[in-house]
Structure 1
Amino acid sequence: MPTSQTTGGAARPAPIPLTLLTGFLGAGKTTLLNRLLKDPALADTVVIVNEFGEVGLDHLLVEGVAENMVLLESGCLCCTIRDDLIVTLEDLLRRRDNDRIGPFKRVVIETTGLADPAPILNVLINHPYLAMRFRLDGVVTLVDAVNGMATLDAHEEARRQVVAADRIVLTKTDLVADPAALARLRLRLAELNPGLALLGPQAAAQSLISAGLYDLSRRPAELRQWLAQDSLPDARHDHAHGGHDHHGHDHHGHHHHGHDHGHGHGHRHDVNRHDDAIRAFVLTADAPIPQATFDLFWTLLRSVHGPRLLRLKGLVQTAEEPDRPLLVHAVQQILHPPVLLDAWPDGDRRSRLVLIVKDIEEDMVQQLWDAFLGKGSGEKTGRPRQGVAVSA
């Protein structure tokens, strides 16, 4: 546990190390996090998962830390809920200081794949209270070796994630058949962030999570320019740092924020939209689905919409194995081999497919899904419930 420091004669707790885990959609953040959290060196870690959209799945798939899990809802961390991050971290400290939760040694924040890290870093580095209680230990960015070059070409967020990193993990290198293609990607990453070591997906936990203080002076000048252009949100409510709790927050498990926060953007963002092109939505089914039906649905969806499908992730209740969820995961048209899990992660056994798409209307996909489920155009019982978040 961090030792206390003395300032002006008064002892205060030493800053808690905090690691930002980022990477574009499908880079493997949750997979890496699950592996790291099995390492005894990362005991007593609080994990904050940010999910983008309406129905969350990633927090269900992080293993072994349910009692130390905080779910940030309602949008992309860099965008609509940056102030929510401030509230969440303050509440976390307050609960720890008041012994409402056990002590923890470090915090890991897993961002959505669409997060621009600059506004998040600004909070962690420059917030007058949080910068005193936390120290930014590092920014770990995952890059998918299969889709990395195309992703960097197409998405500014992916480039910013690389520029902000002090450690980059190349994932899925075993799926790259062409060594020259992998070499070109390594060169591209070195151009974006010179001198940065590239680590493999099996890198030790200590080399990723406890590597030392994040040194902004050693990061590319471009990042420092972004931070200078960014500003902290103007909170519309008082963030007191005494012994009381914020009213209106659920402090047991997931946080549901019912009040409005100022976000320093000058306008509001739709929590389901990162920009005018990217959308997140969910398809559900109450009854078991033959696996062949899902396979055909995905094949047709991919043939119609192709590269505009950024991400599909979900749990399917198949007719063949209704008591064991089928985990399905596709990134930029590539469907990874489905995995049959041992048990459902919670009491909800509905099929839930989360999609993140670009320039595709939700109704078009919903109608296709309804057709495969044999629903009439007016039923649409697969519409999501309100008030929970979409994994990214």
Structure 2
Amino acid sequence: MESASNYLPPVPITVLTGFLGSGKTTLLTRLIRQPAMARTVVIVNEFGEVGLDHHLVAEASGNTVLLDSGCVCCTMLSDLSATLRDLHRRRMVGEIPDFDRVVIETTGLADPGPILHTLMTDRVILGYFKLDGVVTTVDAVHGLGQLNRNTESMTQVAVADRIVVTKTDLASSASLSLLKSRLREMNPAASIQESDSSEVTGLLMFESANYSLDPEHLDVDRWLKAEAYDHRDNHAHHPDHRHDDDDNISSRHHDAIDSFCLTSEKPVRWGALVGFLDALTQLRGADLLRVKGLVDVEESDLPVVIQGVEHLFHPPSQLQSWPDSDRRSRVVFITRNLTREPIEDLFRICVAAVEAKEAPL
């Protein structure tokens, strides 16, 4: 087997998450049988959780299983960073087949946040891999109840780029419609597909580039659709609304997820934007499940892209042009126990502070 080149581009990583029993393992097992997924590595906690069909296993060695479809499955080492570094080493020396995609399947009770932080901050990993997107599975029958009662389920939906609704054949059309409406409220930017849809294939599920550091590969159109959805949806403008009030379950003991889009007609000074993001992450970083948007910065004619997960924000970058004639700043927030008004107030304070400091005497 030939060794991989020392100059390979970073390998995209997709995080596959979903609550207990939501069908993510079934979905993954189906997808890795597809020819398009032959050059994929799947990272799992235990092989048993993947439910590998022994007829598919071509070779087993240590913590690695090679499937006859070409996929490589490996169990997690002491931590994700160590696993990815080991994968890169084994790829370079030819111990395992070359691969061009990694899928990480989380446990059902996992908060994806720490995994995303590792993939976005580990400097060694960033030299070999890049976070591409998050796919979340939701059970059509039990999904609403899980969202109402479990913080992990809410977080998994909030950070998703793609949501796959499973077991739709067991749910009524009315309950399925209600679930999809709830999912759109929580994460209006995510695409939602049913697991038996023709769109649910390996490449479509695992190619999003929504976490890409290259601004030219960001899915800006989807972000702007989320902003439009926010303006159509009445609940998004009511600070007292809590998604957890459904199904007669009290929200007093459960986290609440809100999604909304802040807009600004006026260009924002760079210092105000930096001050706002710094203050927001220091004060409420743990409650910022996902933030992404375009900002019209006063010092530039080009839009600035911002995106972050909890306390961590990518360095702002610029697009080469505005996606359309709308030059407003538009930032989509998905938050936990944090409504629109405090964020708007903090933004105004930061803008006013910079304007006062730069005002002529």
Distance 2:12 2:154 in 1: 25
Distance 1:215 1:130 in 2: 14
Distance 1:59 1:185 in 2: 26
Residues 30, 61 of structure 1: 8 Å contact kept: no
2:7 equivalent in structure 1: 12
**Judging changes above 3 Å, is the alpha-carbon distance between structure 1 residues 148 and 47 closer, same or farther for their aligned structure 2 residues?**
same
Q: CA deviation at 1:215?
A: 5.4
Residues 29, 51 of structure 2: 8 Å contact kept: no
Distance 1:183 1:31 in 2: 23
1:1-392 alignment, distance < 5 Å: 12-51=7-46, 57-61=48-52, 64=56, 66-67=65-66, 68-72=72-76, 84-177=79-172, 179-202=173-196, 203-214=200-211, 218=223, 222-224=288-290, 227-229=309-311
Residues 158, 290 of structure 2: 8 Å contact kept: no
Q: CA deviation at 1:60?
A: 4.5
Which one is further off, 217-226 or 147-156? 217-226
1:334 equivalent in structure 2: none
Q: How many residues align?
A: 210
Identity %: 45
Q: CA deviation at 1:213?
A: 4.6
Distance 2:116 2:35 in 1: 28
Residues 136, 214 of structure 1: 8 Å contact kept: yes
**Judging changes above 3 Å, is the alpha-carbon distance between structure 1 residues 134 and 193 closer, same or farther for their aligned structure 2 residues?**
same
Coordinate RMSD, CA, aligned: 2.8
Residues 102-151 of structure 1: CA deviation (Å, up to 9, x unaligned): 21121111110011011111111121121221122221100001000000
Residues 280-328 of structure 1: CA deviation (Å, up to 9, x unaligned): xxxxxxxxxxxxxxxxxxxxxxxxxxxxxxxxxxxxxxxxxxxxxxxxx
Distance 1:213 1:180 in 2: 31
Aligned partner of 2:187: which letter? N
Q: CA deviation at 1:228?
A: 4.0
What is the TM-score with the length of structure 2 in the denominator?
0.53
Distance 2:160 2:49 in 1: 22
Q: CA deviation at 1:62?
A: 5.8
**SS at 1:103's partner residue?**
coil
Q: CA deviation at 1:88?
A: 0.5
Distance 2:10 2:184 in 1: 31
Distance 1:228 1:200 in 2: 28
Distance 2:210 2:89 in 1: 24
**Judging changes above 3 Å, is the alpha-carbon distance between structure 1 residues 187 and 40 closer, same or farther for their aligned structure 2 residues?**
same
Higher RCO, 1 or 2 (CA under 8 Å, sep at least 6)?
1
**SS at 1:129's partner residue?**
helix
What is the TM-score with the length of structure 1 in the denominator?
0.49
Distance 1:213 1:229 in 2: 18
**SS at 1:61's partner residue?**
coil
Distance 1:143 1:187 in 2: 13
Distance 1:191 1:22 in 2: 19
Consecutive unaligned residues of structure 1, counting only runs of 5 or more, are 5-10, 74-80, 232-392
Residues 119, 230 of structure 1: 8 Å contact kept: no
Residues 30, 62 of structure 1: 8 Å contact kept: no
